[in-house]
Amino acid sequence: MPAIPTPDELLAAAHVVTLPMRVRFRGVTEREAVLLSGPAGWAEWAPFPEYADADAARWLAAAVELGWGDVPPPVRPDVGVNATVPAVAAAEVEGVLARFDGCRTAKVKVAEPGQSLADDVARVVEVRRLMGPGARVRVDANGAWTVTEAVTALTALDRSDLEYAEQPCASVEELAALRVALARAGVDVPVAADESIRRAEDPLRVARENAADLVVVKVAPLGGVARALEVVEACGLPAVVSSALDTSVGLAAGVRLAAALPTLEHDCGLGTAALLAADVVADPLLPQAGRLTVDRADAARDAVDPARLAAYRSGAERETWWRDRLSRAAARLRD
């Protein structure tokens, strides 16, 4: 961990932006983020507004690592990327997939509030139809189901041959119980833990309690690339690197994490710049032939456009809110 900048240094380096989304995702139609210009390059700090200051401080540790320090070196030059399909109607799936060049894996959001299992099934069926039998299709419920609901839903959704289900239930206990229940029901869908890793005080509990087959890790929520690598090593499970609706700057950090993992068996959720209608760079970090290279990621981080920072600068009220939050997170991190 590099020396932590003072709150005044961070505030002087901060640019608060509001970027429009192409479609609603996680309930978000605009993505707010703080871009930080550090001596080692640009970094991003964008904990979701509902997150507590303790979470925000971990996200800030990741930004400080990138903008004021260094990240572990890569062991591979590029990483595979999945398409991300929000909880859209089946008729809109084709348009979404068209924005993910060459991707042969898709992550499909399910269990959206106000939607039904039939909506989820239709969306996943359409993804499978469009991508063909050789593609990999995974679903993400963001912890919305009970164990019973998850068994019912995954039984139906696995007719489209799922690669795995990401955070089908909210708690570690439920994930562990679900794995047993799926086995008893003869439903062969691996379980991946996301929120149970990135939002947990003890991210290793998932592995200790046999609650997942693999883990989803994100740079910012875990406090940086180096810390995320430590978590993956301690868990001892296959890892998938994903984003948190990052700009291309945050996605670049995700690419560096995925490229530094000792082994990488799955495509990663790092193509989400396609969900943004605007970015802070002129050439967003989008997959090409289903992959992202370390060189392109590093170049994107160096290419933050001052004109775009100005064009998408947040309004005065939101800028004040974010700057106050940054001061609190910096103080907490230094403590």
Q: How far is CA 267 from CA 6, 11, 83, 186, 280, in A?
A: 37, 36, 9, 26, 25
Query: Per the structure block, which two tokens stand in for 40?
Result: 């080692």
Enzyme catalytic residues = 109, 218
Q: Which pLDDT does position 200 carry in this prediction?
A: 67
Residue 291's SS3 state is: strand
Q: What phi and psi, each to the nearest 5 degrees, are found at residue 321?
A: -60, -45
Please state whether beta strands 78-80 and 239-241 pair in parallel, antiparallel, or not at all (unpaired): unpaired
Domain boundaries 7-72+306-334, corresponding CATH code: 3.30.390.10
Q: Determine the Cα angle at 171 with ends 169 and 174, to 5°.
A: 65
Per-residue pLDDT of the chain (335 residues; tens, 9 = 90+): 678 899 999 999 999 999 999 988 878 899 999 999 999 999 999 999 999 999 999 999 999 999 999 999 999 999 999 999 999 999 999 999 999 999 999 999 999 999 999 999 999 999 999 999 999 999 999 999 999 999 999 999 999 999 999 999 999 999 999 999 999 999 999 999 998 887 767 888 999 999 999 999 999 999 999 999 999 999 999 999 999 999 999 999 999 999 999 999 999 999 999 999 999 999 999 999 999 999 999 999 999 999 999 999 999 999 999 999 999 999 999 88
pLDDT digits (tens, 9 = 90+) for 118-142: 999 999 999 999 999 999 999 999 9
Query: Which residue in this structure is represented by tokens 């400080």?
Result: 64
Domain boundaries, the chain: 7-72+306-334, 78-301
Percent of the residues in the chain that have a pLDDT greater than 90, as a whole number: 93
CATH class belonging to 78-301: alpha beta
Q: Determine the Cα–Cα distance for residues 278 and 3; give it in Å rounded to an integer.
A: 33
Q: Which pLDDT does position 204 carry in this prediction?
A: 87
Q: Which pLDDT does position 113 carry in this prediction?
A: 94
Q: How far is CA 118 from CA 112, 153, 259, in A?
A: 12, 9, 37
Q: Which pLDDT does position 1 carry in this prediction?
A: 67
pLDDT digits (tens, 9 = 90+) for 183-228: 999 999 999 999 888 776 788 899 999 999 999 999 999 999 999 9
Q: How far is CA 174 from CA 167, 195, 213, 231, 236, in A?
A: 10, 13, 14, 21, 20
Q: Which pLDDT does position 23 carry in this prediction?
A: 84
Residue 96's SS3 state is: helix
Binding residues for Mg(2+): 140, 166, 194
Query: Per the structure block, which two tokens stand in for 51?
Result: 């997150």
pTM for this model (two decimals)? 0.95
Rounded mean pLDDT of the chain? 96
Q: Which residues pair with 19 in a beta bridge?
A: 31
Angle between helices 172-185 and 147-157 (to 10 degrees): 50
Q: Which pLDDT does position 26 carry in this prediction?
A: 74
**Domains 7-72+306-334 and 78-301 equal at CATH topology level:** no
Q: Which pLDDT does position 24 carry in this prediction?
A: 83
Q: What phi and psi, each to the nearest 5 degrees, are found at residue 48?
A: -60, 145
Strand order in the sheet with 136-140: 83-85, 105-109, 136-140, 162-166, 191-193, 214-217, 239-241
Q: Which pLDDT does position 275 carry in this prediction?
A: 93
For residue 34, the tally of other CB atoms under 10 A from its CB is: 26
Q: Determine the Cα–Cα distance for residues 97 and 139; give it in Å rounded to an integer.
A: 15
Residues 6+ apart with CB under 8 A from 214: 164, 190, 192, 193, 237, 238, 239, 240, 266
- Tally helices (H) and strands (E) across the chain: 14, 12
Of the candidates 42, 27, 127, the one whose C-alpha atom is nearest the C-alpha of residue 304 is: 42
Residues 6+ apart with CB under 8 A from 24: 86, 87
Q: Which pLDDT does position 3 carry in this prediction?
A: 85
Q: Determine the Cα–Cα distance for residues 239 and 258; give it in Å rounded to an integer.
A: 9
